[in-house]
Amino acid sequence: MTMTPSKLAMVPFVSVDNMMKLVHSIGLEQFLRDLATEIEADFLRWELFDKTPRVGSHSAVGVIELMPTSDGELYGFKYVNGHPKNMKEGLQTVTAFGLLADVYSGYPVLLSEMTMLTALRTAATSAVATKHLAAKGADTMAMIGNGAQSEFQCLAQKAVNGITNIRLYDIDMAATKKCAANLAGHGLNVTMCTTPEEAIEGAQVITTATADKDMATILTDNMVGAGVHINAIGGDCPGKTELHRDIVSRSTVFVEYPPQTRIEGEIQQMDPDHPVVELWEVMSGKANGRTSAAEITLFDGVGFAIEDFSALRYVHNKIKDTAFYDDLDFVADPDDPRDLFGMLQRAKD
């Protein structure tokens, strides 16, 4: 006997292949602009969300985390890992998947890959922060760390903020050449640099996205001049930073969710009460962003669950009436909700 699952048992699943097809059907830069819009919209209703620091399981070689949140109507979570040693083994440093569920019934409504989607939403979040914090008219960005995240970061800045000049640096020149080749034909002026000092020359925006799980100093204090905006997105777990603490000391620091960033971000180097401004407050007008041309603004971005929620909701809406998902028989849904055992027994027939 073949049992036909009910509609409620079937959950849309977006595979890696379908995620890539969805991105290309919309257009990469439009997809990034759309994600930025969704993230901004959710930051403007920040107070509606359940918020908690991500739940991490740390080991000597990396971390595995769950990132949950809810706006009262939908619940979302992401499973994500961070294993810097993976690169040397031919594996991704970060992999992820995510789920959306209906709060009213508790039933899942979307299961999706999020390795690709996390790269896209992280880039969109950096672009949103830059939009609200960088000096007006900024057109040049230094991209320090040219790994898996770098091209997304550069294209999001172009799509959202009109950045046209990219200066690349990585300790591995092969990574820089890879990034430059991937960005060819995307309307950017790309310069490959051999030192971080060369990369930041003339840049109004600096983005750091390095992978080492270490208290590293990618930028020293003397490298950062007045008026720049920094997106520090590589320091995303305890014991992992990219900036010298003196840079943090003389910057105005903007964060997503302080209880998480104080554990994972650049500000883990600072006193527990080091002053920070929440990014959602800048967007809503409750706090100032940049207040002078000489100010150094620092977005200490570690990634927060609401950004993943925004991305999952966007994908859930965009796959409707498309072929870019598969239905999974994911939820046991017996005709009589009290008779799960009977459903199992009937499957023998």
* Mean pLDDT, residues 110-125: 97
Amino acid 7: pLDDT = 63
Report residue 114 as tokens: 């999020």
Helix (H) or strand (E) holding 131: helix 115-133
Could you give the angle at which helices 16-26 and 305-318 cross, rounded to 10 degrees? Answer: 70
286: DSSP letter: S
Report d(CA 214, CA 237) in Å as an integer. Answer: 9
Amino acid at 25: S
The CA distance from 345 to 264, in Å, is 49
Q: In DSSP terms, which residues pair with 299 in a beta bridge?
A: 231, 254
Predicted pLDDT of residue 2: 43
Q: What is the pLDDT of residues 278-288, one digit of tens each?
A: 999 999 999 99
Catalytic residue positions?
A: 236
Query: How confident is the model at residue 1, as a pLDDT?
Result: 36
- CATH code 3.30.1780.10 for 7-116+306-346: yes
Q: Using an 8 Å Cβ cutoff, are 138 and 198 in contact?
A: no
Question: What local confidence, expressed as pLDDT, does residue 6 receive?
Answer: 58
pLDDT for residue 236: 65
Instruction: Kindly report which listed range (113-117, 153-157, 194-198, 210-214) carries the lowest average pLDDT score.
Output: 210-214
Which CATH number applies to 135-303: 3.40.50.150, 3.30.70.270, 3.30.420.480, 3.40.50.720? 3.40.50.720
Predicted confidence band at 349 (pLDDT cuts at 50, 70, 90)?
Answer: confident
pLDDT of 168 higher than 90? yes
Q: What average pLDDT score do residues 254-265 get?
A: 94
CA–CA distance, 54 with 67 (Å, rounded to integer): 5
**Which pLDDT belongs to residue 287?**
98
- Angle CA 178–131–146, to nearest 5: 15
Domain ranges of the chain: 7-116+306-346, 135-303
In degrees, to the nearest 5, what angle opens at C-alpha 314 toward C-alphas 257 and 112? 90
